[in-house]
Amino acid sequence: MDVALTAVGATHRGRVRSQNQDQYWIATQPWGVVVAVADGIGGYQGGAEASALAVAVLARELGAAQAMGPQRLRRAVEAANRTIFEVGRGRPELNGMGTTLTVCWVAASGVWVAHVGDSRAYRVGAEGLERLTTDHSVAAEMERSGTLSPEEAEQHPQRHVLTRALGPFPAVEVEMTHWPWRPGDRLLLCSDGLFNAVPERRIHELLRRFRGQAGVDALIQAALDEGGQDNVTVILVEDQSPVEVPDGR
C-alpha cells in the first residue's frame, strides 16, 4: 500500500497565559512521518524548559535515523525523560519540571503511539473521534477504575494532576500502542488546551469541514473563541493518497 502523508501543526499561547509551554515537532522521513506534542508542567521556567527539551531530544534521536521501529520510538521517549530529569537535578528554579509527550510514527504499516501524560492522539473517523491514548491523570485513572463516572471525572478538582509525566523521575513507563492505518485516514494530536475547551463533537464537525492547515487553524480558533484559557497545540496527519474505487461499472 502506498501512502502520501502530509503533516501540519500550530501552537498558540492562548488568551490568558503569559507564556506558551506547549511544543510540537514534525519530521518527514523515508520511513514515515513522526509527529509529537509536549505540554510542559512545573512552574514558570520548568514547564517551558521541559517541553522544549522533550522535542529537542526527539529531534536528536529520530531526526536523522536511517530506520525506525517501535523500540527506537520508545527509547527516544525514555531518553527525553532522562535528559529532563538530569537537567532539572541541582537547579532549584527547575524543581519538579516535567512535560507530557505524545509521539506518533505513521507509516503504511500502521501508527505507533508512544505516550506519557494527558495530551491526546485521535483517529478522525467518519462517525467521530477515536481516542488512541489514555489520559494519565488522577481523575482519568479514577474513571477507568470505576470510582468516578465520566461526568464526575470531567469536574474533578484533580483532573489536571498527572499520574505520569516526563522528567520528574529517572524512569518512566511509556504507553505504547499500535493501530492500523487505512487509505484516507486522518490523525489528530493535541494538547489539553484543545479538548478541555472544545467538545469532541465540535472538533469532529470542524475536521469534516476543513482539511490540512485550515483544519489546524479552525481548531485553534475554536479554543480561542472559548476563552483560550490554556496554551493550545494541534497537529493533523492526513493521507493524501487517492482512495481506490473498485472498478465494477
Kindly list the residues in this chain that would bind Mn ion in the complex (CB under 5 A): 39, 191-193, 230
- Minimum distance from CB of 101 to Mn ion (Å)? 13
Tell me the sheet residues that pair with 99: 40, 166
Q: Which is nearer to Mn ion, 25 or 112 (CB)?
A: 25
Instruction: Give whole-number Cα distances, 227 to 96, 119, 220, 232, in Å.
Output: 28, 19, 11, 11
Q: Which is nearer to Mn ion, 109 or 221 (CB)?
A: 221
Q: Which is nearer to Mn ion, 153 or 194 (CB)?
A: 194
Among candidate residues 95, 12, 2, the one with its CA nearest the CA of residue 47: 95
Q: Which is nearer to Mn ion, 51 or 239 (CB)?
A: 51
Whether the CB-CB separation of 33 and 27 falls below 8 Å is answered with yes
Q: Which is nearer to Mn ion, 104 or 197 (CB)?
A: 197
Cβ of 86: how many Cβ atoms within 10 Å?
12
Residues 6+ apart with CB under 8 A from 178: 70, 110, 111, 112, 113
- Minimum distance from CB of 58 to Mn ion (Å)? 19
- Minimum distance from CB of 13 to Mn ion (Å)? 11
> Alpha helix (H) ranges present in the chain?
44-62, 70-88, 138-144, 150-155, 192-195, 200-209, 212-225
- Minimum distance from CB of 22 to Mn ion (Å)? 6
- Minimum distance from CB of 191 to Mn ion (Å)? 5
